[in-house]
């Protein structure tokens, strides 16, 4: 069986503090806000973020305290990590450290090097 033709266009993550998450992804990772909206049915708010010259979207989803979707937060809920290619890994890690985001793990293999930091909700962010 062949599935329907599709194009993976965005990933949505639930966040507990919308402004802290916006600051992290825009100030630390250089993403830009591509759109923002409220969803009355879910008592939620979404913010679409994009990297420079990229059509792929990272959607931040925030739910008010009285929303049925504001459930106990489990880091990642099955999401392993999000990966970002950076121009200068050392500079990116230093900027993250300066903003209070510690390096969790640094790895080297087959001539490559990458590291992980956390977003404000504890989701691991791979920088390579």
- In CATH, what number is assigned to the domain containing residue 111? 3.10.180.10
- Residue 58 located in a structural domain: yes
88 pLDDT exceeds 60?
yes
Looking at residue 6, its pLDDT comes to: 63
Count of helices and strands (H, E) across the chain: 2, 8
* Of 79, 90, 73, residue with least CA distance to 124: 79
pTM: 0.79
Q: Is residue 48 part of a domain?
A: yes
> Structural domain of residue 100, as residue ranges?
10-67+80-127
Structural domain contains residue 5? no
Its sign, for the CA torsion 115, 118, 122, 123, is negative
Bridge partners for 16 per DSSP = none
Name the pLDDT band for 62 (thresholds 50, 70, 90): very high
CA distance 86 to 9: 21
Catalytic residues: 126
Burial class (CB in 10 A: 0-12, 13-18, 19+), 2: exposed
| pLDDT bucket at 1, cuts 50 / 70 / 90 | low
């Amino acid at each position: 069986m062949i599935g329907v033709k599709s194009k993976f266009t965005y990933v949505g993550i639930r966040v507990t503090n919308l402004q802290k998450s916006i600051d992290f992804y825009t100030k630390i990772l250089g993403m830009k806000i591509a759109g923002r909206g409220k969803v009355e049915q879910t008592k939620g708010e979404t913010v679409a973020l994009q990297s420079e010259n990229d059509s792929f979207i990272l959607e931040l989803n925030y739910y008010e305290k009285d929303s049925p979707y504001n459930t106990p937060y489990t880091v990642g809920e099955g999401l392993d990590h999000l990966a970002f290619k950076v121009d200068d890994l050392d500079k990116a890690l230093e900027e993250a450290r300066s903003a209070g985001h510690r390096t969790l793990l640094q790895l080297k293999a087959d001539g490559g090097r990458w590291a992980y930091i956390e977003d404000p909700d504890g989701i691991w962010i791979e920088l390579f």
